Amino acid sequence: MTLRTLSLAAALCAAPVCALADQVRILAFGDSLTAGYGLKPNEGLVPQLQDWLRARGHDVVVLNGGLSGDTTAGGRVRIGYSLARHKPDAVIVELGGNDLIFGLSPKGAEDNLDSILSQAGADDHPLLLVGIAQPGGDEAVRQQWADIWPRLAKKHDALLYANLYAPLFDLPPSEVPAMLQADRTHASAQGIKLIVDGLGPQVEALIGQVDQPRFKTPAPVSTPTGG
């Protein structure tokens, strides 16, 4: 290799073409828990999760596809638009809580989530399915809801985080009120921080599934012959 060729190679590797690949785009698709209902713009799940990931060295942008009050039926209708709009590399799906609150059937919720995951994974996007807290009362109904998320995660080869609020449920009862807003349903900013600490490692695993080369390969460059 001539001195001129060595100099050219060094220049190429110092240029943007040898920079890290584009940042990973993650669509967080869900309801008010994803949207950040009742919180300041920087306090919701999406901004706190993005900050958590960037603090650990991930070049990532988390895109807010949350809609307060949405059900799985609504998500089934709008997932295609959200994918076209945001063009993500990976997708987090968090829906079902409002179906439960409104007394909708677990079978209907599962059918809708099945469609959402099919659409979201159509272009081989890695998927993370986030479950919800299970209802109290009738054990049979509770089990019907509990079975939805692991069954769908297996069917769609998705990562699974079984209960978004699990970190709050692990707290002593006396500490839970500070983690919730006044409605006793939505997490406070402090509660979101705790939720992100629990959810974050699974999102890191999701990032690891994104099929993206670490470095961009420079195009071949013709060099003069001779010394």
CATH code assigned at 142? 3.40.50.1110
Using CA atoms, how far apart are residues 68 and 35, in angstroms rounded to an integer?
A: 6
> What separation in angstroms does the CA of 159 have from each of 14, 25, 32, 183, 185?
37, 17, 21, 30, 25
Please provide the average confidence, as pLDDT, over all residues in the chain.
86
Q: Is residue 220, in this structure, part of any structural domain at all? A: no
Local confidence band at 22 (pLDDT 50, 70, 90 cut-offs): confident
Q: How many domains does the chain have?
A: 1
Q: Is residue 30, in this structure, part of any structural domain at all? A: yes
pLDDT tens for each residue of 191-220: 999 999 999 999 999 999 997 543 333 434
Local confidence band at 15 (pLDDT 50, 70, 90 cut-offs): very low
pLDDT tens for each residue of 147-174: 999 999 999 999 999 999 999 989 999 9
Q: Which residues contact 28 (CB under 8 A, 6 or more apart)?
A: 34, 45, 46, 49, 62, 63, 64, 65, 66, 92, 94
Cβ atoms of 218 and 18 within 8 Å: the answer is yes
Q: Is residue 218, in this structure, part of any structural domain at all? A: no
Q: Is residue 7, in this structure, part of any structural domain at all? A: no
Q: How far apart are the first and last CA of the chain?
A: 9
Q: Is residue 157, in this structure, part of any structural domain at all? A: yes
Instruction: Give the pLDDT mean for 79-99.
Output: 97
Instruction: Please state the φ and ψ torsions of residue 95, each to the nearest 5 degrees.
Output: -150, 160
With CA atoms as reference, report the closest residue to 132 among 176, 105, 101, 88: 101
Its pTM stands at 0.83
* Predicted confidence (pLDDT) at residue 128 exceeds the cutoff of 50: yes
Q: Is residue 8, in this structure, part of any structural domain at all? A: no
SS3 32: helix
* Predicted confidence (pLDDT) at residue 180 exceeds the cutoff of 50: yes
Per the structure, the complete domain to which residue 109 belongs is given by 23-208
Q: Is residue 133, in this structure, part of any structural domain at all? A: yes
Q: Is residue 40, in this structure, part of any structural domain at all? A: yes
